[in-house]
Structure 1
Amino acid sequence: MTLPAGGLSEARDEAERASLIEAGRLLFARRCDFFTAAQGLDHLPPPEGIEVALAGRSNVGKSSLMNALTGQNSLARVSVTPGRTKQLNFFRVEESPLTLVDMPGYGYAKASKAVKEDWQGLMFDFLRGRPNLRRVLLLMDARVETKASDTAVMDLLDRAAVAFQLVITKADGVKPGALARRQAEVEALARKHPAGHPLVVTTSSETGAGIEELRAELAALVA
């Protein structure tokens, strides 16, 4: 069966959905390994294969989501210090064209102004100029309201014509009613942006909720 290029949002029936879920499982049954880091544009690896970047405010749960996505608990370090990650970290999925890129967090308040400008500059330049970057997963904390820095990044991605998909993290941290309201808010945000993917994926790295759906979305890109 040919997988829908648009992922789960284009699945016509349960059979196509099940095929996407299975393709995602098989993709991430392979080992994923860190292979390089870049502290500037001149340190980037050659643009080969398909890259998917994870972006979001500091402490939004990028490292935890990476670990849950790949099923490797120590793949990406988890830090409770906002702004700890200050480089682009590249992780390659074995025997596939897929590379995951863990990006520096933005909007952290405790870092110096100079560091914030340095790393946000690197992040934005990477997003605008990377030819094999197929999608950005833009993470939004279920427990925290949308910030001005989040909408600024979405506007930048629109201007750069870089496709992004909103992913809600830490869904286990809020009650069902609050989660439903947050989901509706984030879905409305996605509809406002030309570069936004129509499907918002709600996840929890603690419970595993939404992880198979997110794997399916990435499998569709690879296919």
Structure 2
Amino acid sequence: MNTLPRRPKCATCLRPAATCICHWAAPVASTVDVLLLQHPMEVENAKGSARLLHLCLPGSRIEIGEQFDEAALRAMLGAGGRQPVLLYPDTPGDRSLGIAPPPPFNAVLAPAQIQLLVLDATWRKSRKMLYLNPALQALPRLPLRDTPPSHYLIRKAHAPDQLSTLEATCYALAQLEGDEHRYDRVIAAFDGFIAQQQGQAARGSTAS
């Protein structure tokens, strides 16, 4: 039985070597600690932005799962004595799932006192992650304010107010750290990543 050889992968970005995205990494040290909780379905998603975000934020952490062990998740929350806050809107739909209103976020905390939790998933999957992990439901939430239109042009039917994980996190960090342009170079790196994805798609359609 013949099997096709597996394509070599980059050990850093975990993508096929031919489509490595490491050259887009634009590291910016964030004062806020960042923990990315990635849904398993996003791990192999070529259009996903979480891995590039991780490469751009030294010290950030990615954990993969849908329903996390409660003790393990609680151990991740508030690392270094920081206040964990979930980057997620408080929506009326939460009440229909039996999720209580989140506690208020203490806006006077210094950035160095905050841990930002980000769910890397589709909207539907992120709501399921929230529902399945009560420890996340108990966290204060951070809503984004006055964000620009998304640059995420490779997702179909993507509305201007639907941001990629990378964009949402950068805008949240800028908001928390009070520096509107601190993460501009990460957004620029994301633009390069998008252009690379569009080029690969165009070459694929030409070859087909």
TM category (shorter chain) comes to 0.3 to 0.5
In terms of fraction of residues, the more strand-rich structure is: 1
Q: Please give the TM-score of this superposition, normalised by the length of structure 2.
A: 0.38
Q: Please give the TM-score of this superposition, normalised by the length of structure 1.
A: 0.36
Larger radius of gyration: 2
